[in-house]
């Protein structure tokens, strides 16, 4: 008996609540038999109450008079605007013969609703258990996780509620009976649509990856198998333990790494395997970037990395430059101005000893050149060639000598450090410096070029104009190191994922000599931060489940292990030039010498004037 033909009466009662998709009429073709009133009420009550579980959602009913769901369905879907449906459609499919609905689930849905397979579905059918088992063995249908099947029963009157068991290891165990509903209390929502991803029953998943230290190490054992470890690998293994699926790690089928975008829109490498569903998961330090979502889906981020430039380390500075390096330029300028001012002040103070013929000083101090040479000798920490007789010159000269003893000791100590430590030229650390040098930049493929072209930094956008494509990371690094440019800093750079975990490892292992000197430097200014995630074929049903577990892993501190504050390797010298702040004690003594010297000169001048006045009065 064609029980499903009665359902049209039920939908007539509240048809305004539904969006009907049909190649012909809105209602089903009726059979000659009269529908039992009890069955109408039972089905109507069930669907009405189930709709209460999805407030604000739209029920979309797929049906045809012939119930084939294949003839002209693609054309009908094309003419129906998916945007007219809310963000949470509930699909209801009327299929007395469930095999007739294969066209809907395997062909027609993909261009209409891309997330059709992961939506919630209610299928009303009267097919046998064997036909339903066969239905769930077709293609991606077995992976659907939100399917409720309803089989009306007349004797006794009831609704048989069934669901599928995705990822079941047994082909004969893919349909599960939930209950037989006879109108009693409505089953809960989680009973109608249980979480089927809690246990994947050991389902095998192919994980495509490759050797990319230090995130992924792939070492070949003696038997030809590979031993894999690393942060990215542990993320996948943690998910497999939590959800009970098995993993088999494979390398990209064509031998590429991440892969290239071809002219026809297809990809090679890891991306190509996911695009063509030759793998279930991809993991290889994958950046979550917008261009990838055209061919794959990605998880939430479980770590963050920075994209930066890596460039050659400049050669060491000539050793003669060590003479000026202990002090900063402003420190040298302050010392030079202080010496000039000290010579002027000391010469003026010395001349006071010859005013009026009463303040006698050694004739040697009457020469300005002599007093300047005496101060220079004190600066050089040599002994005094002459000792002044007036107290104001003695005070000034004593504090001057003490101040420059402090400065000289600081200079000598720092000079020894610079003479014993290799002096490095400052590397390129900003995008502006790169642009001013007229460098060309490059990386694998054109994806990073598009990122640079859209970057907020104007210098990065200009650098993208000189972008060069390389075949591999090793080739780009080799070209960067071996560039024959005669300029002080090489002209060819390479754009790389710039988190120190990768760059520090690569530089330390492959580009550092036996004396510990690296030939490459990672810039401190980075282009942009990127999240790292897993990659999947488009529209797989387990993305949301994986995302929840990945968030728990990151909250537990997965991404914090080994994280550093900023990208780039540190090539700066450990010796720090002395600043004015470091030497403020010596300059304070100089200022004190100036002050006390002038004050003493004023006192002596006043005493001289008083003595002169007294002698004049006595003479009268």
CATH number, position 274: 3.40.190.10
Q: Is 288 found in the same domain as 397?
A: no
* Highest mean pLDDT: which range of 113-122, 270-279, 398-407, 595-604: 270-279
Residues 158 and 275 reside in one and the same domain: no
| 350 shares a domain with 305 | no
Same domain for 207 and 186 = no
Read off the pLDDT of each residue in 501-526 and give the average, rounded to a whole number. 79
Domain end position, chosen among 310, 340, 372: 310
Give the count of domains, the chain: 3
Categorise residue 59: left if φ over 0, alpha if ψ from -120 to 50, beta otherwise: beta
Domain extent for 265: 203-310
Please say whether the beta carbons of 268 and 595 come within 8 A. Answer: no
Please check whether residues 354 and 404 belong to one and the same domain.
yes
Lowest mean pLDDT: which of 50-59, 319-328, 523-532? Answer: 319-328
| Average pLDDT value for residue range 235-257 | 93
Residue 519 lies in a domain: no
Does some domain include residue 479? no
Tell me the average pLDDT of the chain: 76
For residue 355, is pLDDT > 60? no
178 lies in the same domain as 68 = yes
Q: Decide if pLDDT at 111 tops 70.
A: no
Identify whether 470 is part of a domain.
Answer: no
State the CATH number of the domain containing residue 95: 3.40.50
> Which among 165, 192, 219 is the end of a domain?
192
Kindly state whether residue 273 falls inside one of the protein's structural domains: yes
pLDDT tens-place string over residues 408-456: 888 888 877 777 776 777 888 888 888 888 877 888 777 788 888 888 8
Tell whether 228 and 110 lie within a shared domain. no
Read off the pLDDT of each residue in 183-191 and give the average, rounded to a whole number.
Answer: 89
Same domain? For 217 and 187 the reply is no
Tell whether 29 is covered by a domain: yes
Share of the chain above pLDDT 70, in %: 75
- Top-confidence range, 158-162, 354-358, 478-482: 158-162
**Cα–Cα distance, 322 to 414 (Å, whole number):** 9
Bigger pLDDT: 294 vs 111: 294
Task: Give the pLDDT of residue 298.
Answer: 95
Domain annotation covers residue 492: no
Higher pLDDT, residue 35 or 307: 307
Last residue of a domain, one of 276, 310, 344: 310
Strands (E), 127-213: 147-153, 158-164, 175-181, 203-208
Residues 221 and 305 grouped into a single domain: yes
Cα dihedral 580/586/587/592 (nearest 10): 160
Residue 358 lies in a domain: yes
Do 232 and 304 sit in the same domain of this protein?
yes
Do 178 and 44 have their domain in common? yes
CA nearest to 445, candidates 465, 429, 469, 461 = 469
Q: Cα–Cα distance between 412 and 398 in angstroms, integer?
A: 21
Q: What is the mean pLDDT of residues 122-132?
A: 87
At residue 369, the 3 state secondary structure works out as helix
612: part of which helix (H) or strand (E)? helix 584-619
Q: Do 145 and 285 fall into the same domain?
A: no
Q: Is residue 198 part of a domain?
A: no
pLDDT in tens, 3-50: 333 344 334 333 333 444 443 322 333 233 444 567 778 888 888 888
Contact 207, 281 (CB under 8 A): yes
């Amino acid at each position: 008996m064609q029980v499903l033909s009665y359902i049209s009466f039920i939908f007539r009662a509240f048809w305004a609540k539904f969006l009907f998709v049909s190649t012909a009429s809105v209602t089903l073709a009726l059979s000659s038999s009269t529908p039992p009133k009890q069955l109408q009420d039972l089905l109507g009550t069930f669907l009405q109450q189930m709709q209460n579980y999805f407030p604000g959602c739209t029920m979309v009913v797929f049906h045809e008079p012939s119930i084939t769901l294949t003839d002209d369905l693609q054309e009908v879907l094309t003419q129906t605007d998916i945007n007219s449906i809310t963000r949470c459609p509930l699909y209801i499919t009327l299929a007395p013969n469930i095999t007739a609905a294969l066209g809907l689930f395997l062909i027609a849905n993909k261009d209409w609703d891309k997330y059709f397979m992961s939506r919630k579905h209610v299928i009303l059918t009267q097919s046998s258990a064997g036909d339903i088992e066969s239905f769930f063995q077709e293609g991606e249908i077995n992976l659907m996780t939100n399917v409720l099947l309803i089989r009306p029963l007349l004797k006794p009157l009831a609704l048989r509620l069934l669901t599928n068991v995705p990822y079941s290891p047994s082909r004969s165990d893919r349909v599960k009976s939930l209950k037989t509903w006879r109108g009693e209390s409505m089953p809960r929502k989680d009973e109608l649509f249980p979480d089927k991803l809690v246990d994947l029953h050991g389902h095998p998943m192919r994980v495509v990856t490759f050797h990319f230290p230090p995130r992924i190490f792939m070492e070949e054992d003696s038997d030809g198998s590979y031993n894999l470890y690393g942060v990215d690998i542990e993320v996948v293994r943690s998910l497999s333990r939590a959800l009970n699926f098995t993993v088999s790690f494979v390398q990209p089928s064509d031998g590429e790494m991440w892969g290239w975008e071809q002219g026809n829109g297809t990809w090679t490498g890891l991306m190509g395997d996911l695009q063509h569903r030759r793998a279930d998961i991809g993991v290889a330090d994958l950046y979550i970037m917008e261009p990838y979502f055209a061919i794959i889906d990605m998880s939430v981020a479980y770590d963050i990395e920075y994209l930066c430039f890596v460039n050659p380390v400049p050669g060491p500075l000539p050793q003669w430059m060590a003479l000026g390096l202990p002090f900063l330029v402003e420190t040298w300028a302050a010392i030079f101005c202080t010496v000039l001012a000290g010579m002027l002040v000391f010469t003026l103070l010395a001349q006071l000893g010859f005013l009026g013929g009463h303040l006698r000083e050694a004739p040697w101090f009457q020469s300005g050149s002599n007093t300047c040479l005496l101060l220079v000798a004190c600066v050089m920490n040599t002994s005094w060639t002459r000792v002044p007789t007036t107290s104001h010159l003695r005070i000034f000269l004593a504090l001057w000598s003490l101040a420059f003893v402090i400065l000289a000791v600081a200079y000598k100590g720092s000079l020894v450090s610079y003479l014993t430590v290799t002096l490095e030229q400052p590397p390129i650390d900003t995008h502006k410096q790169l642009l001013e040098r007229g460098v060309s930049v490059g990386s694998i493929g054109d994806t990073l070029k598009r990122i640079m072209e859209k970057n907020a930094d104007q210098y990065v956008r200009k650098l993208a104009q000189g972008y060069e494509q390389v075949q591999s990371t090793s080739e780009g690094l080799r070209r960067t190191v071996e560039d024959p440019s005669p300029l002080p800093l090489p002209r060819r750079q390479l754009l790389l994922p710039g988190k120190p975990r990768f760059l520090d490892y690569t530089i330390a292992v492959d580009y550092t000599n036996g004396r510990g000197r690296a030939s490459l430097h990672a810039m401190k200014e980075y282009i942009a931060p990127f999240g790292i995630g897993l990659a999947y074929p488009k529209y797989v049903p387990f993305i949301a489940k994986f995302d929840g577990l990945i968030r728990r892993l990151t909250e537990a501190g997965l991404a914090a292990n080994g994280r550093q504050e900023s990208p780039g390797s540190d090539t700066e010298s450990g010796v720090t030039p002395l600043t004015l702040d470091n030497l403020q004690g010596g300059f304070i003594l100089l200022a004190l010498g100036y002050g006390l010297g002038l004050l003493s000169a004023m006192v002596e001048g006043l005493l001289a004037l008083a003595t002169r006045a007294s002698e004049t009065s006595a003479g009268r």
